[in-house]
Amino acid sequence: MKLYVCWGTFNIPARRHPCRDALDALKAAGHDPEVVKAYGFGGFPNALNATSGRREVKQLTGQSWVPVLVTDEGEAIHDSDKIIAWAAAHPAADSGRVGAADGH
Ligand SMILES: N[C@@H](CCC(=O)N[C@@H](CS)C(=O)NCC(=O)O)C(=O)O
């Protein structure tokens, strides 16, 4: 699976970072998505979002905002709340270790 994010999955102090939240939820569910940095900005017109990641996001979802999850079945899901809900509903088959999926 692929997770398209903005410039990374860093923490943003004192506010939510939807891309980070989406990745955390997927990892907590035992997934290890390929993280694709889309750069640009969701509010920019297409011409300023010329990276392949942004173009793919637009093609997949009809809009340019990230995060966007593309599941192994090819389903494209946004926004972060829906990705978090998807992760909770679809724990990785071999995870079986809820709470221990944070990379440690
Ligand atoms: N409601 C959206 C908000 C997405 C959002 O604000 N994304 C941040 C990046 S994490 C942003 O600045 N997006 C602009 C962009 O697409 O780069 C969600 O929760 O997914």
More confident site: 7 or 51 = 7
CATH at residue 24: 3.40.30.10
Q: Number of structural domains, the chain?
A: 1
Residue 101 lies in a domain: no
Beta pairing partners, 79: none
Residue 102 lies in a domain: no
Cα 74 to Cα 31: distance, rounded to the nearest angstrom: 15
Q: Ligand 1 centre from 96 Cα, in Å? A: 30
Residue 6 CA, closest ligand 1 atom number: 17
Domain that holds residue 9: 2-89
Confidence at residue 84, expressed as pLDDT on a 0 to 100 scale: 98
Per-residue tokens: 98: 């809820």
Check if the beta carbon of residue 92 is closer than 8 Å to that of residue 72: no
For 25-60, write each residue's pLDDT tens digit.
Answer: 999 999 999 999 998 777 777 777 678 888 899 999
> Where residue 93 falls among pLDDT bands split at 50, 70, 90?
confident
> Where residue 7 falls among pLDDT bands split at 50, 70, 90?
very high
Asked if residue 61 has pLDDT above 60, the reply is yes
Residue 79 CA, closest ligand 1 atom number: 20
Residue 80 lies in a domain: yes
Residue 103 lies in a domain: no
Residue 59 lies in a domain: yes
Check if the beta carbon of residue 76 is closer than 8 Å to that of residue 60: yes
